[in-house]
Amino acid sequence: SRSIFELWGQGKSAEELFTSLKNYPMEKMVPYLQSNSTYKIHIHAFNKTLIQEEKIKRIDALEFLPFEGKVNLKNPEHIFWILEDYGMDPNNIPEEPLDLYFGRWIADGQRELIESYSVKKRHFIGNTSMDACLSFIMANHGRVKANDVVFDPFVGTGGLLISSARFGAYVCGTDIDYNTVHGLGKASRKNQKWRGPDENIRANLRQYGLEKYYLDALVSDASKPIWRKGMLFDAIITDHTHVTVHRLTAFWLLISSRYTEEIIPRHPCLKLISNCEQMLSSHTSRRLITMEKVKEFEDKDQYSHLLDYQSLLYKGHNSFREKYFSGVTKRIAKEEKDNQK
Ligand SMILES: C[S@@+](CC[C@H](N)C(=O)[O-])C[C@H]1O[C@@H](n2cnc3c(N)ncnc32)[C@H](O)[C@@H]1O
C-alpha cells in the first residue's frame, strides 16, 4: 500500500461523506483535535487535477468537524486527508467524484525497500535467504523500533537482521552451521563455486550502511539456550520454529494440507497476536506466527510444552516433516496434476 489511513467517513457524494463523518464516534476523533495540537488537511483527487480554489472549498466544507488545534502546514502533529476518486479512465473523467473519503493519515508505505534491499543484489546470500519484502513484514510484525535489541536464533545469512537494523534496532543471531556464521563454504550464486573472503553477515549490513547495528552472530544450537537467566530481547524474529521467547516474536511454521489452529505452538507466557498464511503450493503453506510475551516465566510453566498439541503432532503421523520426507506431499500434487489432464 502507498499509505495507511484511519477512515473517519466515506460516501458517494459530499453530503453522504458529511453524514458519515457526523456519525463517526466523537471519542475516536477527539484525541486528534485537541486545542494544544497542530494539524493539516490535505486533499488528493485520483484521476483529476483540482485547482487550488477547489481544494480550499472542500477543506472549508469540513468546518463542522470540531477541529480545536492550530493549523501547521510545515510540521503538523496530525495529518488528515480528503481523498476523491474519479475512476480509472483518463478519457472519461466524471464531473463529480465517484467516491469520497476522509481519514487520519497513519503512515506511508515503503515499497521501494523491496527493490533496494533485494536479495538479488545482496553481498552474502544462502539457499534460504529470506526475501526482502517478507523480512520487512516480519520486522513490522515484531514492532521493531529504534534502539531495540532483536535476536534471530536461526540467523543464516542474516536476512532478518537487515530489516530490523533498517528500523534502527541492534541485531544479533545464532546458527548451528559454522560455515554460515563464518561466511565459508560453497556459494549459493550460480556462477560462483566458493564464498568470497568478505561474504558474511557483517558485510551484508555494511552494504546497506547498517553495520553499526550489528552486535554479533554466534555458532550455537538454538535448542540449547546460551543466554543467562533474565536475558531480554525486545523481539525475536526468525525463519524456523523455535524454542525461547522474550517480548515479541515472529516466526514461520511450515504446514501441510491438514491445518487446524491447534497446531500453533502455545505457551502460557505467550499470546497469539497474528497468524498469516503464505501459500507455497496447493498442499503446503507456511504461516507467519506472531506472539507477544504477556507474563514472566514461572516454575509452574516449565512442563507446559509437554501439553502443547503441536509437540504431540510433530511426533505423530500428521507431521509435516514426516509427510514431506515420505514424499506424500509430492504424490498428492502429482495426483492432482494428473487429474487435471
Ligand atoms: C531457513 S534458514 C534461515 C535463513 C535466514 N533467515 C536468512 O535470511 O538467511 C534456517 C537456519 O537455521 C539453522 N539451524 C537449523 N537448526 C538449528 C539449530 N538447532 N540451532 C541454530 N540454528 C539452526 C540452519 O543452519 C539455517 O541456516
* Ligand 1 neighbourhood includes 179 CB (under 6 angstroms): no
Of 228-237, 259-268, 308-317, least confident by mean pLDDT is 308-317
- 177 pocket-lining for ligand 1 (C-beta < 6 Å): yes
Question: In terms of domains, do 56 and 191 share one?
Answer: no
**Is 331 a domain residue?**
no
Alpha carbon distance 309, 336 (integer Å) = 30
User: Running DSSP on this structure, what letter comes out for residue 98?
Assistant: S
Secondary element (H or E) of residue 289: strand 285-293
Rounded (5°) CA angle 136-139-141: 110
- Per-residue confidence (pLDDT) for residue 311, from 0 to 100: 57
What integer pLDDT is reported at residue 139 of this predicted model?
95
274 shares a domain with 125? yes
Q: Is 138 in the pocket of ligand 1 (CB under 6 A)?
A: no
Give yes or no: residues 224 and 267 share one domain: yes
Q: Are residues 167 and 307 in the same domain?
A: yes
Band (138; pLDDT cuts 50, 70, 90): very high
Last residue of a domain, one of 79, 108, 137: 108
**125 and 104 in one domain?**
no
Tell whether the model's pLDDT for residue 337 goes beyond 80.
no
Question: Do residues 26 and 104 share a domain?
Answer: yes
Domain tally for the chain?
A: 2
**Among candidate residues 77, 108, 139, the one where a domain is terminated:** 108
Find the DSSP H helices in 84-128.
Answer: 112-116
CA of 98 to the centre of ligand 1 (A): 51
Q: Which 8-state DSSP code applies to residue 327?
A: T
**Where does the pLDDT of residue 280 fall: very low under 50, low under 70, confident under 90, or very high at 90 and above?**
confident
Same domain, 172 and 61: no
**Which run of H or of E encompasses 218?**
strand 214-219
Q: Which pLDDT score, from 0 to 100, does residue 154 have? A: 93
CA separation (Å) from 333 to 239, 285, 321, 328?
Answer: 25, 13, 16, 9
Residues 199 and 118 in one domain: yes
Q: How far is it, in rounded angstroms, from Cα 337 to Cα 131?
A: 28
**Within the chain, how many helices (H) and strands (E) appear?**
12, 12
236-254 burial: b if 16+ Cβ within 10 Å, else e: bbbbbebebbbbbbbbbbe
**pLDDT at residue 185 in the model:** 87
Query: How confident is the model over 206-252, as pLDDT tens digits?
Result: 999 999 999 999 999 988 878 888 878 999 999 875 333 444 566 76
Q: Based on the fold, state whether residues 104 and 191 are members of the same structural domain.
A: no
Inform me whether the pLDDT recorded for 155 exceeds 70: yes
Q: Whose CA is nearest to atom 17 of ligand 1?
A: 176
Domain that holds residue 180: 113-326
Whole-angstrom Cα distance, residue 293 to residue 244? 11
What is the full DSSP assignment across 37-51? Answer: -EEEEEEEEET----
The fraction of the chain above a pLDDT of 70, given in percent, is 84
Rounded Cα distance, 82 and 62, in Å: 10
Residue corresponding to grid cell 502429482: 334
| CA nearest ligand 1 atom 13, residue | 154
Quote the ligand 1 centre to 173 CA distance (angstroms).
Answer: 10
> Same domain, yes or no, for 118 and 242?
yes
**What's the farthest any 2 CA atoms get from each other in the chain?**
70
Question: Is residue 244 situated within a structural domain?
Answer: yes
**What is the per-residue pLDDT for 165?**
98
Q: Of 86, 108, 130, which closes a domain?
A: 108
Question: Which of 92-101, 149-158, 262-271 is least confident?
Answer: 262-271
State whether 210 and 316 are in the same domain: yes
Residues sharing a CB contact under 8 Å with residue 134, sequence separation 6 or more, in sequence order: 278, 288
Q: What is the pLDDT of residue 20?
A: 98
Distance from the alpha carbon of residue 183 to the mean position of ligand 1, in angstroms: 14
Banded model confidence at residue 297, pLDDT cuts 50, 70, 90: confident
| Å from CA of 176 to ligand 1 middle | 7
**What is the whole-number distance in angstroms between the Cα of residue 336 and the centre of ligand 1?**
32
Stretch among 140-144, 211-215, 252-256 having the lowest mean pLDDT: 252-256
End-to-end CA distance of the chain: 38
88 and 199 share one domain: no
- In this prediction, residues 84-104 reach a mean pLDDT of 96
Q: Whose Cα sits closest to atom 16 in ligand 1?
A: 176
Does residue 50 carry a pLDDT above 50?
yes
